[in-house]
């Protein structure tokens, strides 16, 4: 069983037990967070429910493992022959989560 979930603006394919790095969530470490924006649920190859835009009664629960910052990237700008050089660095904040449960309502209906 897997689901396609909208997490912080990104669509992620998740199954129970998956560990993901997602953009920073405002939740304490060790707490549980629920995502209600489930776009697709597939119980098997024959039983697939596609939401329009979401699947009613479906949700995904995840446990927040840790928060962190990604690797530093360097952005270098230069104009040749003009003595113009700029270097900018960036580190993206992220949250590590583990998917604990995918819940599908009794009758997963498509919400129009």
Say if 85 falls within a structural domain. Answer: no
Q: For residue 90, is it within any domain?
A: no
Confirm whether 87 is domain-assigned: no
Virtual torsion, Cα 56, 57, 60, 63, nearest 10 deg: 140
Residue 22's pLDDT is 97
Residue 59 lies in a domain: yes
Domain span at residue 12 reads: 2-68+95-111
Classify residue 35: in a domain, yes or no.
yes
Contact 11, 3 (CB under 8 A): no
| pLDDT tens-digit readout, 29-59 | 999 999 999 999 999 999 999 998 999 999 9
Give the count of beta carbons closer than 10 Å to the beta carbon of residue 14: 20
Angle of CA points 53, 59, 65, to nearest 5°: 125
Residue 84, in any domain of the structure: no
In the chain, the number of structural domains is: 1
Please identify every stretch of the chain with a pLDDT value under 70, giving residue numbers as ranges: 106-112
DSSP letter (8 states) at residue 74:
E
Per the domain annotation, does 79 fall within a domain?
no
In a domain, residue 81? The reply is no
pLDDT (0 to 100) of residue 62: 97
| pLDDT at position 39 | 95
Residue 110: the pLDDT is 54
């Amino acid at each position: 069983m897997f689901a396609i979930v909208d997490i912080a603006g990104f669509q992620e394919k998740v199954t129970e037990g998956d560990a993901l790095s997602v953009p920073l969530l405002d939740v304490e470490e060790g707490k549980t967070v629920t995502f209600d924006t489930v776009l697709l649920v597939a119980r098997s190859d024959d039983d697939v429910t596609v939401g329009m835009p979401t699947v009613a009664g479906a949700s995904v629960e995840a446990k927040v493992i840790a928060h962190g910052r990604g690797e530093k990237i360097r952005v270098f700008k230069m104009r040749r022959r003009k003595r113009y050089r700029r270097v900018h660095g960036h580190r993206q904040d992220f949250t590590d989560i583990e998917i604990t449960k995918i819940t599908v309502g009794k009758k997963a209906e498509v919400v129009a």
